[in-house]
Structure 1
Amino acid sequence: MAAIVKFLQELQREISCSICRGYLCEPVTIGCGHSFCQACLSSSCRDGAQVFSCPECRQVSQGSELLLVNWHLAELTELGKELSSKILQSTQGQSQCVIHKKPFKLFCEQDQTTLCVTCGETPEHGAHKISPVQEAPDKYGRELQHIHSLLKQHLEENEQLLAQVKRPAVDWHWMIRGEFHKLHHLLMEEENRCLERISQEQKASQDTLSQHIQSLQDLLQDLQEVGQQANLDLLQDAKQLLGRSEAVLAQRARAVTPELREYPIPGLVQMLYRFRVDLTMDPTSADSCVSISGDLKSAKAEEDWPEETKDSSCHAVLAEQAFRSGCSLYWEVDVAQLPQWVLGIYTPSLRTRRRSGKKVTCTSLFLLQCVKKEEDYYLRTYPGPLNHRVKSPFPRIGVYLQYSSGTLGFYNVLQRSLIYKFYSIPFTAPVKPIFCPGPPLPGTKPGPMTLCPVDSHLCSCCHSSQ
């Protein structure tokens, strides 16, 4: 151990600067072989001097030597500092410093080690906070006692908070469960009223058709009886029978084509808002019959829409986005300025299904179409059975796609009601929304079909976004 201490003392002399008495910093070795800190040597020489004398042996050296840093000596200095620190740490628990043979009277708070007076003056600890070794235990004892009190106080507070969380003053579970129970009860009542209304309207439709059938049968019977009458009697009844016939035939269209009823579902559209997506239209998918706005949010029918395709949806635009497995998506389209339009989805490939041992290829289009004939509007689905009259056109249509279950729903956003829903569509990726702002009616100038922003809502009092 003595040999190690002696070696360390010699090493400290070699890696110390005789000007500042500290460890060498960027050491410079001059011609005489002595080394100094570059900053110390520069400050000891006169500015602009071409020669200078060594501060230790007074041998004359050239000024240019100040620029040459001895990097090997710099590395040795760092190793010496590290070795000195480790030896000091190994002496903890002893009564005196092994290197300087002096008792420990100081304590370095940064390195948490005891020092002798000479160690405290070394460069290694020169910038550290040093205190007398007798005062350090009392100081740290007071700090530890303060920390102990704080921790104990925080522990008690947190235990009280935990007890409050376990037994809260407000039973939120009970209150929220009660609100949902009330909501479920209200929804069930609304569902029963809606189903009862559907039953009553179905019965009314049946009665209307039955009355219409009876009117037809009565009219046929009367026509048959009149046909067997004499010419004079026939002339007397012909005008009245023709009037009845015209009235019965005029009722046929409304009797045969059902009217689409509105059954508002509370909270329906608000629930669908959770799945709203921001769509844009693909300008490369549009032909000359449809123009797309610069922001890719609107499509408009051009005036040169071909006459032979007035009732088709071949001039459609696709969305830029394509959707794949597992997603639920909802978007809204403003069609308030269009008398006729088509909305839906397109998928280039669908799984084939087997039915009765035969392979059935599924359609790749699922559409909702609005058509105007005379003064009436009709909603139709492709494919599907929907062909219903509506009292007035809808200002906004919501479309909900649930890929995982293969469902596609169309909604009347203003009335918060379902229009139609496709089920069990055998999707394969990808699926793209499709839009068609036509065909336009002759002599009219229809407006655009517009994708609604994800943060827009339809006000029921003015039919506009608020």
Structure 2
Amino acid sequence: MHFEFMADEMADEGPVQNLCEETTCSICLEYFTDPVIIDCGHNFCQSCITEAWGKSDQEASCPQCREPHQQRNFRPNRQLASIVEIVKKFSLQAAKGVEVLGRVCKRHQEPLKLFCEDDQAPICVVCDKSKEHRDHKVIPKEEAFEEYQGKILRHLEFLNKQREKILSSKLKGETESQNLLKQTDMERQEIMSDFKQLHQFLEEQEHLLLAQLKELDDEIKNCRNQYIAKLCEEMASLDNLIRQLEEKQKQPVTEFLQNMRSILERCNENKNKTINAIAFPRGLKQQIDYFSKIHPFLEKETKKFKDVVLSGPQGKKACHIPKLCSTSKLWFCLLTLSELEAWEANKSN
């Protein structure tokens, strides 16, 4: 028989498919190995029928038709053995003609037309009838492809939205931190200008205030860097997963369905992740507000301030600006409590 004609018959599951089934042992569901024929006319692998009959001391019967066989006789079927070898060679030849590498069952040389949900792997019709997959959920490969393709598309849509949220949060965090840094820089310039007029008297306090602003800068930058690093890490993880999913979509059906469970589990893990807004230390803005109050007071009271300081500490009490968090120790000892209270009262009026 011409191989091209037989290949077409194999693809259509015609007579050649029936021939393959007739050369398959009904016990092991594999091609006959050392086939033997028993008295009722049915054929089995010699090892299969020997094992089947050897399990019980009761009267033996045919595993296929259940006809009793008291003598347990069998004889080699050499003609069938020759046919099996021909069918095996033909199956390999036909498989090469109609299926590409990776689309044929390595075990049975049959097209991988089904998909086992339990093992997450494509299988052939012979595998489906075997004990290994007998109780498994098996569906057509095309149906499995459509189902998982839909899941992949939904995950891609969700992951892309997550990525957009992360990018938006990143930009928002950058903007907020830049605004805070601009405020601290503005306060730095104003404080430097004020202390320049009173440099002899306020040199120590000037350096201390600058140090506190530097601490604020460091806190803001540290918060920003940690936040951006975390977002970048999350985005890199999403990019990697998205890239894997996009590459997965381009793969042939058989390769596409491999490792599907682990990929979907990674996708599901990302659903539970939340994106938190950038979090600056408590009281950070309040600290900046305290700096902003120092400048207008100094600007208004500069002329009087020199006279107050030069007049000596008699009747004067040092002013302490309380710390706002554990990392801030802001002291402004040269301002008098009475002067600051008077300024606050005038401001409120």
- Which TM-score applies when normalising by structure 1? 0.23
State the structure with more CA Rg.
Answer: 1
Higher helix proportion, which one? 2
Q: Which has the higher contact order (CA 8 A, sep 6+)?
A: 2
- Which TM-score applies when normalising by structure 2? 0.30
